[in-house]
Amino acid sequence: MIWERAGGPDRELRLVRPYALTGGRTRARVGDLPIEALIMSIVPAGERDRLRHEARRIVEMCDTPISVAEVSARIRVPLGVARVLVGDLVADGLVEVHRMENGNGRPDVRLLERVLDGLQAL
């Protein structure tokens, strides 16, 4: 469950269930994203106002590359929900995915260690 302020900081808190954010879906339109995949926004700042709340937050935090796992932690949603939300943004052409592989189709161990260190620091 996610609490967010309805209408701004002086408004009451409302409860938003994770499945409501994804429309009950467990997979994004682009399939599953690796948790270590780096996401980067490609939406100009002036065009972000048309996005719904969660999408806008994710796009704004992706001005610098950020992993799917870190998106999950920062917006305080389960990893599966973050994967769906980010995947939908990829499908809509709002963010780009940069998969970090070591040439044999497997994630780079150093990157995974950095992601783990970042998550533990939270």
Confidence of residue 15 (pLDDT cuts 50, 70, 90): low
Report the predicted TM-score, pTM, of the whole model to 2 decimal places.
Answer: 0.66
Q: Where are the domains of the chain?
A: 26-121
Q: Give me the mean pLDDT over the 39-43 stretch.
A: 90
CATH, domain 26-121, list 1.20.120, 3.10.180, 1.10.10, 2.30.30: 1.10.10
SS3 (DSSP) at 15 = strand
DSSP type of residue 33: P
- Report how far Cα 89 is from the mean position of its chain's Cα atoms: 9
Confidence of residue 13 (pLDDT cuts 50, 70, 90): very low
Name the percent of the chain lying above pLDDT 70. 70
Q: In the predicted model, what is the mean pLDDT of the chain?
A: 77
CB 58 within 8 A of CB 80: no
Confidence of residue 59 (pLDDT cuts 50, 70, 90): very high
Alpha-carbon span 30 to 20, nearest angstrom = 19
CB 33 within 8 A of CB 94: no
Name the percent of the chain lying above pLDDT 90. 18
Alpha-carbon span 12 to 33, nearest angstrom = 34
Digit-coded pLDDT (tens) for 80-100? 888 988 998 999 889 998 866
